[in-house]
Chains A and B, each alone.
Chain A
Amino acid sequence: MSVDAATVKRIARLARIRIEEDQIASYQGELNAILGFVEQLQEVDVEGVEPMTSVTPMTLRRRDDLITDGGYAEKIVSNAPLSEDNFFMVPKVVE
């Protein structure tokens, strides 16, 4: 499978990465080189093979549903480019 210019634009939009018109062709070439490389997986017979979900034979550990952490909103926002009263500030999203 390979991607066309419209698909490159769609992927960039989904990934929230702005790509200028004059960069589309080079991204398209690079993505197709990688997709061409992974194409060889098609020749592997995976009939009846389970997809890996955990590389170590373990079930995901669970903990009791208790509050064990928190109460430091000022630390959470301390690295924010823009914050006010311990809230993250973003451009208006609701008119």
Chain B
Amino acid sequence: MTDLTKLSLADARKGLADKSFTATELTGAYLSAIEAANPSLNAYVAVTAEQAMAMAKTSDERLASGQGGSLEGIPLGIKDLFATRGVHTQAASHILDGFKPEYESTVTSNLWRDGAVMLGKLNMDEFAMGSSNETSYYGPVVSPFRADGSNANLVPGGSSGGSAAAVAAWLCAGATATDTGGSIRQPAAFTGTVGIKPTYGRCSRWGTVAFASSLDQAGPIARTVEDAALLMTSMAGFDPKDSTSVDMAVPDFAAAVERGVKGLTIGVPREYRMEGMPAEIEKLWKEGLDWLVAEGATVKDISLPHTKYALPAYYIVAPAEASSNLARYDGVKYGLRVSGKDITDMYELTRAAGFGREVKRRIMIGTYVLSAGYFDAYYVKAQKVRTLIKKDFEDAFDAGVDAILTPATPSAAFGIGDEALAADPVAMYLNDVFTVTVNMAGLPGIAVPAGKDAKGLPLGLQLIGKPFDEETLFAAARVIERSAATDFSPKPWW
């Protein structure tokens, strides 16, 4: 029998529909793969084997009676940021020790409604704050990829590092992830997987642990563009419980995948050609454009003049919102409590023990920029710059651009415990330089694997779309995926 875990999500759907195998067999295969691989990769922080088998059994019954939903029997991994009823939900933080919510997030509810099976909760940077998955309370996720001829462990990217690693290493058919500044697209690029951050408002934020509410969006990570489209169609949708959820019909994204790019205008922003950009990234970008042109697209040089200010503005807006959102962790309502001599002492000791260094650093920056006397100089200024960043994109789209092509990351994956990055928080933040603009403007962005660096590590390209035009991104990403015609799967060493 073929290894069921190696099937794409789309092929697993077909196999279940024509009874080549059962959902129970498929789920069993993934649970065995997780058991064998997780001690090496650390992608899952909780495996819900019993629940998974029960859900798979229900799926088999529904499939047998012809009642199956669009994801019936498909085993998924869920980022630890999504509330899952009665199941480990800690945002990979110590401060949420033992938290098992009484409710289910809207995004995961949508997936279960359509028949998907939960394998467990995936590791991530603590509270989604990081670009390497090294800030997790549960330790770093190890990438399934290694450089040619090397045994050194690499990062899978972050914050959705567990999601990306699990998808790439065949430990789930697809995964949920979230993206505040690049947390879906950067790990997807590092692991040869496809990740899309939809337009702000497309997916409900209800039941997802909040980091920076005006930037956070959920999306899928999957092994193919089509798989990502299938997951996106299920995850998205209007939700009255999220006041920023957009009341708009969800298209069948999978139907757009093979639409092609004939007649589309692809923008190339000159500001993304950074000084010191590695030649292989430059080459990849050019190749991607050639592929799109070969299929009938036109390339247009554009300018997004405020690009360089997106990252500094982000490091005001995101920590400010985080400092407010994370005020709720006080040792009273849930999670960790460290006793003190009075209530303030208890708050301070609980938060000192419960939050990791990166989270504390961001809460403190956020507290500072929102404090009396600094609010206008920092926060209001950053929100004005954000208006300008959004206008840059609007001008490009008004001038006839349908989508924008950029590199997804400035480099391939780096090593775990990289000393230069550990010593300088700003150097780590630069990982998100190509992705963060998209969050600031609320736009959709997709990362698709397009090539490899000299050491055989995956490199991704990013496509940025108009608000609520994810369909064009899926279509263009599919052209890149098909044209690259490269096997982006890791060579198992675990």
Residues of A at the B interface (CB closer than 8 Å) are 1, 3, 7-8, 11-19, 27, 30-31, 33-35, 37-41, 44, 46, 49-56, 58, 60-61, 63, 72, 75-76, 78-82, 88, 90-93
Contact = CB atoms under 8 A, between A and B. Distances in A.
Nearest to B355: A17
Interface string B86-120: 00000000000011111000000000000000000
Interface of B: 98-102, 199-201, 214, 240, 243-244, 246-247, 306, 308-309, 311-313, 315-316, 323, 327, 330-337, 339-344, 346-349, 351-352, 355, 360-361, 363-365, 367-368, 371, 374, 377-378, 380-388, 390, 424-426, 429, 440-442, 467
Nearest to A14: B367
A46 B390 contact: no
A56 B384 contact: no
Nearest to B367: A15
16 contacts: A1-B377, A8-B364, A17-B364, A27-B361, A27-B364, A35-B365, A37-B312, A44-B306, A46-B381, A51-B384, A51-B386, A52-B384, A61-B243, A75-B102, A79-B100, A91-B342
A66 to B, nearest CB: 13
B388 A38 contact: no
A56 B467 contact: yes
A89 B377 CA distance: 40
A16 B384 contact: no
A18 to B, nearest CB: 4
A38 B347 contact: no
A79 B387 contact: no
A90 B368 contact: no
Given A30-B361, A90-B332, A11 B368 contact: yes
Contacts, number: 166
A33 B426 contact: yes
A16 B201 contact: no
A78 B425 contact: no
B390 A52 contact: yes
A1 B385 CA distance: 18
Contact of B201 (A7, A37, A56, A91): A56
A52 B360 contact: no
B213 to A, nearest CB: 11
B333 A80 contact: yes
Nearest to B96: A79
A63 B380 CA distance: 29
A38 B312 contact: yes
Contacts of B99: 79
A75 to B, nearest CB: 4
Nearest to A61: B243
B416 to A, nearest CB: 21
Contacts of A41: 309, 312-313, 316, 381-382, 385
A18 B102 contact: no
A18 B364 contact: no
A41 B387 CA distance: 13
A11 B327 CA distance: 14
